[in-house]
Amino acid sequence: MKYIFLLLICIACQKPDMDLKDYIIEEEGTKKKLIDWKWRHVSYLDSLKKPTGGVGHLLTAEEQKLYPEGTVIPDKVVNDWLDKDLIKAKEATKAQMLLLKRTPTKKFEIALTSVNFQLGTSWYKDVKRKNGEIKKGHTKTWNYLMKGNFKEASKEVYDSTWNDQTPDRVEAFSEAIDEYGVGINAQLINKKEKEKTLSWDQVKKVGKKYLTKIKGN
């Protein structure tokens, strides 16, 4: 019972459901400029000096031509980018959860989607670029998650340039991993406890053997 109680506490301590879109906007932020008495989206360079627009949208070569740094970007374009980028991040999260083979907590699902949105859908693996260079991924963190070693996974995320760039988001992901691990471990312990308990058919079977043994004596 205490393990079931632990699991219930874990579920209860999750933050209230938050609209994923609003959460991403809050985490990513946007850059606006006051033009003609109205705040308008403008293209800018992110913390890694990459051309960006709207809500953390990395501009393609073609988009950079349309919206060079400091150029106004229409709201409709920004919203379209956000919707498309968010769909990609959500689909990647679903695929990764299938690989992990574990049901996510709401907090972990949101945090993982945020990671896919910010770092890209290949964040957990090394990727070979067109120029032959290898873009290093968070392979250690992912391997710990795959093995169910949530304690080490939550620590490993801090050992990265990502933590230098956006420490608050790293902390949020680390906390989500910890909470996810508590829930999974509670489920496993509860399952083991249930397996120790005999079903009624098993009880009758054991009782029958016992009675047969007594009669034999």
Burial string for 118-156 (b: 16+ CB within 10 Å, else e) reads bbbbebbeeeeeeeeeeeebbebbbebbeeeebeebbbb
Q: What is the pLDDT of residue 19?
A: 83
What pLDDT score does 169 carry? 94
CA 29 to chain centre: 19
pLDDT at residue 186 in the model: 56
Q: What domains lie within the chain, and their CATH numbers?
A: 2-27+83-194 (1.10.530)
Report the pLDDT value the prediction gives residue 114, as an integer from 0 to 100. Answer: 96
| pLDDT one-digit tens code per residue, 63-93 | 999 999 999 999 999 999 999 999 999 999 9
Q: What's the confidence (pLDDT) of residue 12?
A: 39
CA distances from 166 to 108, 113, 141 (A): 18, 16, 17
- Farthest CA pair distance, the chain: 101
> Quick check: 157 and 170 in contact, CB under 8 A?
yes
Let me know: does 52 contact 58? Beta carbons within 8 Å: yes
Task: Report the pLDDT value the prediction gives residue 185, as an integer from 0 to 100.
Answer: 61
Residues in the chain where the model's pLDDT stays below 70? 1-18, 183-217
Per-residue pLDDT tens digits for 122-154: 999 998 888 888 888 999 999 999 999 999 999
Amino acid 146 reads: M
